[in-house]
Amino acid sequence: MSSDGALYLQLAETIARAIRSGTLAAGERVPSVREMARQKGVSLSTVIQAYRSLEDARLIEARPRSGYFVATRGPTLPQPETSHPPVDSREVDVSSLTVQVMRLANDPDYLSFGAACPSAELFSQDRVRRAVTRAAQRHRRSLCHYPIGGGEESLRRAISRHALRMGCELDSRDIVITNGCIEAITLCLRAVTQPGDIVALESPTYFGFLTILENLHLRALEIPTHPQHGMSLDALQLALDTQPVKAVLVVPTLSNPIGSTLSLDDRARLARMVSRHDVPLIEDVLYNDLAEHDHMRCAVKSFDTTGHVMMCGSFSKTVAPGIRLGWVEAGRWQAKVEGLKAATSGAQTAILELAMADLLTQPGTEAGFRQLRATVGARVDEARGIIATTFPTGTRVTDPPGGFILWVELPPAIDSLALFRACRTEHIVLAPGTMFSATDRYRHCIRLGVGGRWDDAYRAGLKRIGEIACQMVATATVGARRRPRDDMSVEPVLAD
């Protein structure tokens, strides 16, 4: 799988460049499928695939009986710049704030932008219910049978087939089913590290990773990360050359919280890098199915020839959030991970595994992914428009190629913890930037999840966050202007 390995991807990228450069303006009609096929000398199916890819990327839109047009997007803001974390590793202590935010994020009395969880309305609840019912009816003995082993064979085969979409040929016998992706990553870290070891990861990074490191007494070495292009491999190379890094933990596709995505060349380079240094790479592919373009879903594991990549995934963001199942293929550490899993939590509930296998192999699964991508993509665009019009001047926001998470960089005068507390009094919850680093950085940043409920109340809630942030900037500005005058008024008293 490569960006130039498929004709439809070449065509889609050509049109995308024309749109982003302004050659094709918003609202302008795109050539019809037949016209484009004739112009480029390709098949109709190639053009259809290219146009579908551009629709998923929200670059073009189909209008009934009119054809395709360049999509109109709302006002935009610049994206944050590459992060600059400290060059040394740090102990981790973020659990107290994380617990508080997640407790409020799951409180129905709050408008929640604090969690990166999709709402039930984004999925076919009847489809999931029928799959669970079928599994219980067809395999009723499983309800009274104690599960042992790495997971139901049907689910492991389904995951193996699903991995082909990411360019990976996995032996189903090497796949271990886990209690969600977090357990898969925890098992991998336990297999390759000891307390006090250094783990390199993106900065900012998912707070769940930091919580795992904290509980395992591991040190976090944060690597500079670009909001579009992902972890700096040059900086990672320097870290591997100069520090005793024992593992690398990365989300190459739609990293949480900034939504960055590594290029294919960087994925191949990363696989070679960890192999050369004999360091395990733990790859989280949780969000791959939400990426707008096929080539973005290609895993680093697909470039791994030495077994140094440990691949972890789940379907909690894309198929059935309530079925808490994850999986891992741990490469050369497979036996150790399998042993740790058996000793730690044993096997999962067979009925749920059988239901998930059913869901993954049903016709229309890929169409469901496309619909989910389109729905959350439109929601992210709308949220970015609200941020652009209601948040303070100087705000920056990411423009991720998929997913439902936005990273917002506010003016330096704003403390995200103070913003969190102010919003909490109005029953609105967000995630302060300090949750996503083992350092005290990102105090003026917040993460907003827009995968939950999305209605007028939530739109108003997002606008209210912007209004509160504007008030904080205004207060800080007035305070800065008054301070010299206040100092002058105090001087005579001191002199007396």
Q: So where are the chain's domains? A: 7-70, 124-361
The stretch 233-255 carries a mean pLDDT of 97
Fold of 7-70: Arc Repressor Mutant, subunit A (1.10.10)
What pLDDT does residue 492 have? 31
Least confident of 118-127, 272-281, 471-480: 471-480
4: pLDDT confidence band, cut at 50, 70 and 90? very low
131: pLDDT confidence band, cut at 50, 70 and 90? very high
CA distance 259 to 254: 4
* Whether pLDDT at 393 is above 50: yes
Distances (CA, A) of 442 to 84, 134, 258, 377, 432: 10, 47, 12, 25, 8
CA distance 61 to 1: 26
* Whether pLDDT at 426 is above 80: yes
CA distance 364 to 370: 10
Cα–Cα nearest to 356, from 329, 400, 386, 322: 322
Query: For residue 348, what is the DSSP state?
Result: -
Chain centre to alpha carbon of residue 362: 25
Cα–Cα nearest to 287, from 403, 160, 176: 403
CA distance 246 to 193: 6
What pLDDT does residue 484 have? 55
Query: For residue 291, what is the DSSP state?
Result: B
For Cα atoms 249, 254, 260, give the angle at the middle one, nearest 5 degrees: 85
Cβ-defined contacts of 99-103 (< 8 Å, 24+) = 101/420, 101/429, 101/431, 101/432, 101/435
In 315-464, the DSSP E strands lie at: 326-329, 396-397, 405-409, 428-429, 431-432, 445-449
Q: What is the rounded (10 degree) CA torsion for 463, 466, 470, 472?
A: 120
Cβ-defined contacts of 28-33 (< 8 Å, 24+) = 28/69, 28/70, 29/66, 29/67, 29/68, 29/69, 30/60, 30/67, 30/68, 30/69, 30/70, 32/67, 32/68
Phi–psi pair at 329, nearest 5 degrees? -120, 110
Distances (CA, A) of 14 to 1, 10, 47, 126, 311: 18, 6, 12, 40, 32
The amino acid at residue 66 is: S
Copy the structure tokens of residue 310.
Answer: 């440990």
Q: Which residue has the tokens 């450069």?
A: 21
CA distance 487 to 494: 10
Which position has the higher pLDDT, 75 or 10? Answer: 10
pTM of structure:
0.84
SS3 254: coil
285-335: per-residue pLDDT in tens?
Answer: 999 999 988 788 999 999 999 999 999 999 999 999 999 899 999 999 999
* Whether pLDDT at 267 is above 90: yes
Least confident of 29-38, 97-106, 195-204, 301-310: 97-106
Copy the structure tokens of residue 493.
Answer: 């008293």
By residue count, the chain amounts to 496
Which position has the higher pLDDT, 426 or 292? Answer: 426
For the chain, the first-to-last Cα distance in angstroms comes to 79
* Whether pLDDT at 382 is above 70: yes
Copy the structure tokens of residue 246.
Answer: 């024992």
Label the pairing between strands 281-284 and 245-250.
parallel
Contact 188, 328 (CB under 8 A): yes
Phi–psi pair at 83, nearest 5 degrees? -70, 155
CA distance 488 to 183: 59
Distances (CA, A) of 491 to 86, 415, 424, 479: 40, 30, 39, 18
What pLDDT does residue 5 have? 43
The rounded percent of the chain whose pLDDT value lies above 70 is: 94
CA distance 316 to 314: 6
The stretch 73-93 carries a mean pLDDT of 78
Contact 314, 326 (CB under 8 A): yes
What pLDDT does residue 371 have? 82
Fold of 124-361: Aspartate Aminotransferase; domain 2 (3.40.640)
The rounded percent of the chain whose pLDDT value lies above 90 is: 65
Which position has the higher pLDDT, 177 or 345? Answer: 177
2: pLDDT confidence band, cut at 50, 70 and 90? very low
Burial (0-12, 13-18, 19+ Cβ within 10 Å), 399: middle
**Which distant-in-sequence residues (6+ apart) come within 8 Å of 233 by Cβ?**
266, 269, 270, 273
481: pLDDT confidence band, cut at 50, 70 and 90? low
CA distance 133 to 145: 17
The stretch 440-445 carries a mean pLDDT of 91
Copy the structure tokens of residue 270.
Answer: 């990363």
Copy the structure tokens of residue 471.
Answer: 């008030």
Rg for the chain, CA atoms, rounded: 24
